[in-house]
């Protein structure tokens, strides 16, 4: 992988304590040993708490932060700008914005991203709006050096065709080598090769959201023996139907043997 993102959505940050988040970041930093950047999750609906989380991430050794936009309180566009400007003013770490309106209840509009791209500490955005027109507009409005990253695995190829630089991936936890091949093919401009990888992975990319992320991806990783199938409330284990569908897809992709049982 080109970089790692501990304590993001798939890393179950909402149900981790502050101390657990710090420890997870430290463990990842220790394992990476400087080989790739570590972009730690540090977002939330209270600007003061996000600033503190950024300080914790820096102290734990992170080289940047991924900051999801404030959720539930649904700030205005000016509120979003002021929130991120305040975070940027209080950390030396580079910041990747994270726009995921389906989870947060508010959208960072392209005009606001354009403004934020002028803030020196803010170097990019993870765009998970699912709106290709919006993502294209963000790319058009922002400087070439501003990173536009897909927040949806299934949209990585079109986003990179529009000038995006990659993806912050859910499936990268299950099929990291395949996701790297897909992104690197796009970087070479070989979209025919990227499309072949995309088409092979598409059933998995879709199945990862049969139930709320990270339930399906964690289930697949548990079937493969990579993690324990432990879920903290309010997240719960997948239904038997979901697990059966995930097992079938994992077998088709060669992630599990035919005889693997739950």
Which residues are part of the catalytic machinery?
98, 126
- The pairing of strands 166-167 and 147-150 is parallel
d(CA 189, CA 175): 22
Alpha carbon distance 197, 183 (integer Å)? 10
CA–CA dist 57, 222 (Å, integer): 27
| Cα–Cα distance for residue pair 110/40, rounded to 1 Å | 24
Instruction: Specify the length of the chain in residues.
Output: 262
What is the spatial distance between Cα 39 and Cα 41, in angstroms, rounded to a whole number?
7
Residues 6+ apart with CB under 8 A from 5: 11, 38, 39, 40, 41, 66, 168
Closest CA to 97 of 142, 61, 133, 52: 142
Cα(179)–Cα(198) distance, rounded to whole angstroms?
Answer: 9
User: Residue 138: which of 122, 153, 117 has the closest Cα?
Assistant: 117
**Closest to 162 in 3D by CA, of 131, 116, 207:** 131
Copy the structure tokens of residue 177: 């080598």
Element of type H or E holding 199 = helix 191-207
């Amino acid at each position: 992988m080109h970089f790692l993102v501990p304590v993001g959505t798939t890393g179950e940050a909402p149900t981790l304590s502050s101390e657990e988040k710090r420890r997870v970041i430290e463990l990842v930093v220790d394992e990476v040993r400087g080989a790739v950047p570590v972009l730690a999750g540090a977002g939330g609906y209270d600007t003061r708490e996000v600033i503190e989380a950024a300080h914790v991430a820096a102290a734990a050794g992170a080289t940047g932060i991924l900051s999801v936009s404030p959720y539930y309180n649904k700030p205005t566009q000016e509120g979003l700008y002021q929130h991120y400007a305040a975070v940027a003013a209080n950390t030396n770490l580079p910041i990747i914005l994270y726009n995921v309106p389906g989870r947060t209840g508010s959208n960072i509009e392209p005009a606001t991203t354009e403004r934020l791209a002028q803030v020196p500490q803010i170097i990019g955005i993870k765009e998970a709006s699912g709106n290709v027109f919006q993502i294209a507009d963000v790319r058009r409005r922002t400087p070439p050096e501003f990173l536009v990253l897909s927040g949806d695995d299934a949209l990585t190829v079109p986003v990179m065709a529009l000038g995006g630089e990659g993806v912050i991936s859910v499936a990268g936890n299950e099929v990291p080598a395949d996701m790297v091949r897909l992104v690197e093919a796009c970087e070479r401009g070989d979209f025919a090769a990227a499309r072949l990888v995309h088409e092979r992975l598409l059933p998995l990319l879709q199945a990862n959201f049969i139930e709320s992320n990270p339930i399906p991806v964690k289930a697949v990783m548990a079937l493969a023996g990579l993690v324990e199938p432990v879920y903290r409330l309010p997240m719960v284990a997948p239904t038997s139907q979901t697990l059966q569908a995930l097992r079938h897809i994992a077998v088709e992709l060669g992630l599990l043997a035919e005889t693997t049982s739950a």
